[in-house]
Structure 1
Amino acid sequence: MDINPVTLLPLSFDVTLIFLLLIIALLLIIVHIWRRADKRARMLFESWKRDEYARWKTWIQEEADARADVQAEARYRDWQRWEEQKIRQDAIRRSHSVIRGKITEHLIPWFSEFSYHPSDARFLGSPVDFIVFDGLSEGCLKEIVIVEVKTGSGSLSPRERSVARIIEEGKIRFEVIRKE
């Protein structure tokens, strides 16, 4: 058996040209489709990137706000404790001053600064501390003195100033009330 080689017929120039144009057209279509896909992929990537950025930015802001709230709350509690301690210390200091003043008011007739006989003094406490009937214990009343005792840098209250003003103006009198 003899084998005859198959001979390829030479393609005509027209068929080759059509085949070549077809390949070029297919390549152009593939390039066009590839460019559209690439453009779509870039758009999707940019959209995803914007969305992720916004999501992360929101999350970071929320975390920062939450941490700031925790820190602010802690600082507020510290400030509140500090202020409460300061207020308590001030209240204790004032309480000591008031108690010292009340004790001094009651004991002042026995101090050397009190220039009247202790038994001539009558404690009122309000609106003035004492009325002193100077000389009454010896049977010889010389004068009546209204005494207000102040300790430290204390000053007269408005009520005490009004009593002092009335006394200075001489608007003071003696009255007897009889009940039958």
Structure 2
Amino acid sequence: MLEWVVVFLLFLIFLVWAYYRGRISEIAMRRATDLFNEWKERELEKQVEMRLKPELEKWKEIEEENIRRDAISRSISTILGKVGESLAPLLIWQEYGVNPKDMRFLGTPVDYIVFKGLSNENPEEIWFVEVKSGKSTELTTRERRIRDLVESKKVRWITLHLQSELEKLRAGL
């Protein structure tokens, strides 16, 4: 009887060993397959990179050159705009006979306000001047609105006396 128990135990041990050996083999096979697939993906990525890297580098060079050209073009436009704004008083003097001393640079929302005749102590008119140096001669929405206000004579004069205003503030406290 003891012999049968020993045989049965040996048989159980064999079954457990076979089961775990099969599981270990299955896990090892799965891991080996995963490693092979990862290696295969890396190799494929390397091949794609080797093929596409020269094209990518060429594309980068072309795009960098385009970016540089665009930056230079914008820089030139900006510089020309600044030069144009600086030359505007001379051009207005030549074209309209306004003394450059009568012009005041604002920059925004309009470039200049001209007090025609101010340098001779005889102001005759006030002009709002917007200088356009680029390809576009169109006013921005903001500039058009200001032009419309001036043309519809919605212009006002205010004299602010600081001392009186400060006294009002003090009295209110």
TM-score range, shorter chain: 0.5 to 0.7
CA shift at 1:129, angstroms? 0.7
For residue 149 of structure 1, give the secondary structure of its aligned residue in structure 2.
Answer: coil
For residue 116 of structure 1, give the secondary structure of its aligned residue in structure 2.
Answer: coil
Q: Whose relative contact order is higher, 1 or 2, with alpha carbons under 8 Å and at least 6 apart?
A: 2
CA shift at 1:64, angstroms? 6.6
For residue 92 of structure 1, give the secondary structure of its aligned residue in structure 2.
Answer: helix
Q: Distance in 1 between matches of 2:134 and 2:96?
A: 16
Q: Distance in 2 between matches of 1:113 and 1:78?
A: 51
Equivalent of residue 113 in structure 2, options 121, 124, 131: 131
Distance change in 2, residues 1:129/1:74 (3 Å): same
In the alignment, structure 1 residue 169 sits paired with structure 2 residue 152? yes
Aligned alpha-carbon RMSD (Å): 2.5
Deviations 1:94-148 (A, max 9, x none): 1111111112202211233454211111111111110001111222222110001
Equivalent of residue 125 in structure 2, options 121, 138, 143: 143
Give ranges in structure 1 of 5+ residues lacking alignment.
Answer: 1-58
**TM alignment of 1:91-102, pairs within 5 A:** 91-102=71-82
Equivalent of residue 119 in structure 1, options 81, 101, 105: 101
Larger Rg: 1
Distance change in 2, residues 1:76/1:124 (3 Å): same
| Structure holding more helix per residue | 2
**TM alignment of 1:14-29, pairs within 5 A:** none
Q: Is the 8 A contact 1:129 1:147 kept in 2?
A: yes
For residue 84 of structure 1, give the secondary structure of its aligned residue in structure 2.
Answer: helix
**TM alignment of 1:76-91, pairs within 5 A:** 76-91=56-71
Q: Distance in 2 between matches of 1:101 and 1:130?
A: 14
CA shift at 1:65, angstroms? 5.9
For residue 162 of structure 1, give the secondary structure of its aligned residue in structure 2.
Answer: helix
TM-score w.r.t. the length of structure 2 is 0.61
Give ranges in structure 2 of 5+ residues lacking alignment.
Answer: 1-39, 164-173
For residue 98 of structure 2, give the secondary structure of its aligned residue in structure 1.
Answer: coil
State how many pairs are aligned.
123
Distance change in 2, residues 1:137/1:86 (3 Å): same
For residue 104 of structure 2, give the secondary structure of its aligned residue in structure 1.
Answer: strand
Distance change in 2, residues 1:103/1:63 (3 Å): same
Tell me what 1:68 maps to.
Answer: 48
Q: Distance in 2 between matches of 1:98 and 1:134?
A: 28
Q: Distance in 2 between matches of 1:90 and 1:114?
A: 36
CA shift at 1:174, angstroms? 0.9
Tell me what 2:11 maps to.
Answer: none
Equivalent of residue 160 in structure 1, options 107, 126, 143: 143
